[in-house]
Copies of this chain bind each other. A is one copy, B any other.
Amino acid sequence: MNDLEITGLTHSYGRDARALDGVGFAVPRGSIVGLLGPNGSGKSTLIKNVFDLLRPQAGTITIDGSPHAAPDAKRKAVYLSSNDYLPEFLTAAEYAAMIARFYGLEVDREEALELFSRFGMDGRYDDLVEDYSHGMRKKTQLMVALMVRRRLTVIDETLNGVDLEALHLAEKELAGLRDEGLSVLLCTHDFPVLERLADEVVFLDRGRVVYNAPTADLVAEHGSLERMVYGYLESGER
């Protein structure tokens, strides 16, 4: 069973070359899959397709077995954006409630406060987002995703630049999601995080899947994910 399954996904903007050209891969239930790609790899286009922000031009996407644009599929996935995009006019508590309501859930205030405390944001849960630093906004995105615990969590470079301790804690929390049988698509070019956490890695370039294999196999073959990626980028293969 796959929590996310993508087959033959193709997308072009105008007359330009294809942003996605027949991409297919899966996030199996209870796994963490890393997604890697340079600028122009098609990663953003892919994520926009998964969250129905762009309409697939060819190919299929299913979330937990349902077509991705169906209302119940939408309620099974949560997206953490690549920046600190949060409504500044809300408090974290109001934001969490808004997101939870979208999923038909209620926030447990005690749990939320405990999570905020563990992520070094004691006493800030009822403050307006506009008074948060960039790092705090990113951590808030993550904590709200941890509160709603969806079948599929997609993390798009969200944790760049958060503090050392939050990053360490985040890794444990993501592993915890997997331990509960939930899945994560982790888009990051923090190679060692991927080497520690990801069961499989997908490497995209110019709209195609270049590598898609268990992390251990890719590391065994290339020495490290980093060597794999930079070796590829500097090679003539591209």
Contact = CB atoms under 8 A, between A and B. Distances in A.
A62 interface: no
Rank and list the top 6 A-B pairs by shortest CB-CB distance, nearest first.
A160-B161, A130-B133, A160-B160, A38-B164, A164-B189, A39-B163
Contacts of A134: 83, 88, 130
15 contacts: A37-B164, A38-B165, A39-B163, A53-B94, A53-B97, A82-B88, A83-B88, A85-B85, A85-B88, A88-B133, A89-B156, A131-B133, A161-B161, A191-B192, A192-B226
Q: Which of A97, A163, A233: most chain B Cβ within 10 A? A: A163
A94 B54 contact: yes
Q: How many copies does the complex hold?
A: 4
Interface class of chain A by DSSP: loop
Contacts of A224: 192
A165 B233 contact: yes
A88 B137 CA distance: 14
Contacts of A38: 163-165
A118 to B, nearest CB: 13
B98 A53 contact: yes
